[in-house]
Amino acid sequence: MKKLFLFTAIIAFAVTTSNAQGVSFGAKAGLNLAGLNGDDADDLDGRTAFHVGGVANIGISELFSVQPELIFSMQGSEADDVTLQLDYVNLPIFADFQIADGLSLQGGPQVGFNINAQAEFDGETMDLEDNETLDLGFGAGAQYRLPDLGLFFQARYVIGFSDVISDVDAKNSVASISVGWFFN
């Protein structure tokens, strides 16, 4: 029920801001190089996966905009013969500062909602029951938008502040590269 309410609120926000000047909508997809950081995650390797989602860019001034996104993101880690699969719906809300024609630096908070938590061991998959639903983090990166084409490229790093499993010191860490297109 909470997920339905959140989704409805995000759609309502998008519809109400679509009438503002300087608003662009788009889509993006890319590669995640995900892992876990913390005292209990030292022996874990990263997990290579993907992300896909929608983007809005709300122009505030000529050089500054706010860029909220709604992203499905596959994260987690691996160790020997165990794969930890953590899937999230992430909502980053980044400030976007243009530093050159088409090039901007971005940064801001990200809220993630865990929608799937599984461990795969010796070909068997089991659901994790002690996973945390909410993941809070902060991200930074760069975006290059090709003038007049709508095509854009991103490189980002997001570090989590929340443990992904109850009573385990392990937080998300995701480097990502993306390609996308603004429709308008």
What backbone phi and psi angles, to 5 degrees, belong to 128? Answer: -85, 135
| Mean pLDDT for all residues in the chain | 88
Q: pLDDT value at position 21?
A: 58
pLDDT digits (tens, 9 = 90+) for 154-170: 999 999 999 988 888 88
78 CB-near residues (< 8 Å, 6+ apart): 44, 45, 46, 47, 84
Contact 23, 57 (CB under 8 A): yes
Tokens 């390797």 correspond to 45
- Spatial separation of the C-alpha atoms in residues 142 and 155, rounded to whole Å: 6
pLDDT digits (tens, 9 = 90+) for 13-29: 554 444 445 899 999 99
pLDDT surpassing 90 at residue 63: yes
75 CB-near residues (< 8 Å, 6+ apart): 32, 34, 47, 49, 86, 87, 88, 172, 174
pLDDT digits (tens, 9 = 90+) for 64-113: 999 999 999 999 888 888 888 999 999 999 999 999 999 999 999 999 99
Q: pLDDT value at position 19?
A: 44
- Spatial separation of the C-alpha atoms in residues 97 and 112, rounded to whole Å: 23
- CATH of the structural domain 2-182, one choice from 1.10.1740.10, 2.60.40.10, 2.40.160.20, 3.50.50.60: 2.40.160.20
- Spatial separation of the C-alpha atoms in residues 148 and 109, rounded to whole Å: 29
Q: Mean pLDDT check: name the lowest of 39-48, 81-90, 102-111, 138-147.
A: 39-48
- Spatial separation of the C-alpha atoms in residues 88 and 132, rounded to whole Å: 11
Terminal C-alpha separation, the chain: 33
Domain boundaries, the chain: 2-182
